[in-house]
Every structure is written in structure tokens, then in C-alpha cells.
Amino acid sequence: MAKKKKSQRKRNFTYSANNKPASKAPVASAAVGTPQEEPARTATPAAPKVAVTDHKQHVRYDIQTILWLALGCILLELVLWFLLQHTGLGHTVFGS
């Protein structure tokens, strides 16, 4: 079988000033007909705003669900223990 050619293209996923989209929104001037000054640009571009998301939220939700189910089972066990031991229901059900 023939070998697959490896791509020599390098991928650059970092943010740089070169790949920043050039968009200039018009700025409203104080007086009509006066030239507008462009704001001073810094030497380094501003870092892109990245929305921080909680990547482990689904895990926390699953653990919380498991804990609620465990608590429900324990409470059910305690209620059944009380009903069968301390009331006449245990003698009626098991006939001892």
C-alpha cells in the first residue's frame, strides 16, 4: 500500500493582530463637518474575550442526582423499618 503524504502546512491557532478582522465603526462627532480623530492604537492587540464555561457542570449534576437518590433510599429504608418494627404492620405482613 502507498504511504499517505504528510501535510507540510502548519496550523496557527493563536490570536494575532494579522488575523484580526478589520472593522471600523463610524464614530459620532461632536460637531458636523469637523474631522474625527482616530483613537490611538496600542502596540499589542487586546486579548480576545473568551466566555468561561463550567466544563464540569454535567458531572456535578450527575453526582447531585445520585446523592438525592441515595438519600431517598435511606429515608425509605428508615420509614419501612419503623413501620415494620414499631407498629402492628410487621406482624400482619410476616405473621410471626
**At residue 91, what are phi and psi to the nearest 5 degrees?**
-70, -35
Say whether pTM exceeds 0.85.
no
Confidence (pLDDT) at 96: 65
Altogether, the residues listed in the chain come to a count of: 96
Confidence (pLDDT) at 18: 61
3-state secondary structure 53-76: CCCCHHHHHHHHHHHHHHHHHHHH
Confidence (pLDDT) at 27: 54
DSSP state for residue 32 in the 8-state scheme: T
Q: Could you state, in order of their start, the residue ranges of all structural domains in the chain?
A: 57-87
CB 90 within 8 A of CB 83: yes
pLDDT tens per residue across span 10-69:
666 666 566 555 555 555 555 555 666 666 666 666 666 766 677 788 899 999 999 999
